[in-house]
Amino acid sequence: MPEAIEIQLKKGVLALCVLALLSKADSYAYEIASKLAKDIDMGEGTIYPLMRRMQSDGLVETYLVESQSGPPRKYYRLTSAGRASFTQQKTEWAAFTTAVEDILGAAA
């Protein structure tokens, strides 16, 4: 797959992945970035602008937690709008991947 296409596919699903991770547990940006870097080979630098955008869109909110190894960490948690967005995006993703799988299965 050409690298540009792969990057665009990852960027397209990045917000959904962040919402999915936060639906399981509150987290801080570096922890989210590390998980995404490991699981889908997404660079750390892409997460911070996304987290700011998600916060300004009202999908996540932040709170500080004291850390024994440095300054307080900014944790993110889903808002009710974030939970609703995750549910909607997950449904849309399932329909999309089913359609793609159908097309791929029908290909010669």
The pLDDT tens digits of the residues spanning 6-30 come to 777 777 899 999 999 999 999 999 9
CA distances from 7 to 2, 75, 105 (A): 9, 27, 24
Q: Work out the average pLDDT over 87-98.
A: 95
> For residue 59, what is the DSSP state?
S
Per-residue pLDDT, 2: 65
CB 72 within 8 A of CB 66: yes
Q: Supply the pTM of this predicted model.
A: 0.86
What was the pLDDT predicted at 108?
A: 62
Lookup result for tokens 């993703």: 93
pLDDT-derived band at 84, boundaries 50, 70, 90: very high
